[in-house]
């Protein structure tokens, strides 16, 4: 199949960007989207031109680095699919495909399709961890966890931090990402000790990075390649509300008055 690509090219963070048109001939249906771009890049290099810069690492849907918007949809819009897992059989001979980077102020473009997503790292640094001493690896079944809690934690832990939820949101909200991380840890006994501190700090870090607020349009859930549910945002809001109430409650005085 022969395709036409319209790709965002931007030399560096400060240079203005523009769409550039390339031809992608002889694309095989079993190629992944990134393999198709690899071939386009090999042809560009052979012609002495600058290859298209894009991020990728695992190429099996688990690292979250292959962030790009395809035909206006983060990761291309196929259910539960990252760009690296998207195959060219979904396209047709003669198609024109528009490829852009994530577009959100907290994710500035570094070059072509690569954005700086370290804002997510800083949110994790603010609280997305367990720092209390949980001891060595416990024996299996020594720490009973209800099946429903384990399932909730696993569903939330599926988040790969790709940022598609932000890219798809008209407010550039990071609520789905933060909610997944907060919910994952709050559901498990190891994460309960710090749950209030965690949610307060992570939400503050999210706001400080300039992400917008959630207006529940559901666009994040629709594009999330790990199908992280909007329910986690409700769960985080409950965590946050409880933490605010607990932290604003008057402390009993030592004299008991
Ligand atoms: S919630 Fe989904 S879309 Fe957002 S960062 Fe996690 S995996 Fe990506
Ligand atoms: S390259 Fe790792 S998720 Fe796509």
- Dump pLDDT digits (tens) for 125-163: 999 999 877 677 778 788 889 999 999 999 999 999 999
- Summarised one tens digit per residue, pLDDT across range 187-225 is 999 899 899 999 999 999 999 999 999 999 999 999 999
Mutate to test the pocket of ligand 2, among 62, 74, 86 (most ligand atoms within 8 A of CB): 62
What pLDDT is recorded for position 249?
67
Mutate to test the pocket of ligand 1, among 164, 169, 227 (most ligand atoms within 8 A of CB): 164
Q: Is the pLDDT of residue 37 over 80?
A: yes
Of 182, 167, 165, 169, the closest CA to residue 124 belongs to 182
What pLDDT is recorded for position 152?
97
What pLDDT is recorded for position 8?
98
Tell whether ligand 1 has an atom less than 6 A from the beta carbon of residue 230.
no
Q: Is the pLDDT of residue 59 over 70?
A: yes
Q: Which residue has the higher pLDDT, 256 or 183?
A: 183
Tell whether ligand 2 has an atom less than 6 A from the beta carbon of residue 67.
no
């Amino acid at each position: 199949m022969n395709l036409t690509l319209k790709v965002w090219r931007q030399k560096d963070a400060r240079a203005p960007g523009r769409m550039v048109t390339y031809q992608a001939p002889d694309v095989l249906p079993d190629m992944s989207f990134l393999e198709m771009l690899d071939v386009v890049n090999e042809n560009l290099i052979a012609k002495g031109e600058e290859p298209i810069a894009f991020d990728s690492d695992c190429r099996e849907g688990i690292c979250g680095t292959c962030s790009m918007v395809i035909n206006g949809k983060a990761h291309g819009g196929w259910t539960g699919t990252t760009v690296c897992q998207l195959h060219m059989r979904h396209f047709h001979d003669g198609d024109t495909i528009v490829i852009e980077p994530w577009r959100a102020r907290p994710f500035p473009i570094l070059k072509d399709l690569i954005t700086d997503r370290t804002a997510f790292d800083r949110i994790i640094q603010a609280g997305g961890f367990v720092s209390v001493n949980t001891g060595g690896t416990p024996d299996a079944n020594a720490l009973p966890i209800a099946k429903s809690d384990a399932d909730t934690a696993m569903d939330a832990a599926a988040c790969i931090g790709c940022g598609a939820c932000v890219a798809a949101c008209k407010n550039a909200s990071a609520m789905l990402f933060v909610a997944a991380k907060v919910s994952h840890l709050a559901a498990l006994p190891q994460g309960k000790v710090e749950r209030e501190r965690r949610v307060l700090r992570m939400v503050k870090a999210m706001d400080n990075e300039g992400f917008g607020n959630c207006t529940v349009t559901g666009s994040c859930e629709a594009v999330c390649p790990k199908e992280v549910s909007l329910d986690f945002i409700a769960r985080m809001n409950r965590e946050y509300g409880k933490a605010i109430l607990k932290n604003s409650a008057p402390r009993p005085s030592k004299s008991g008055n």
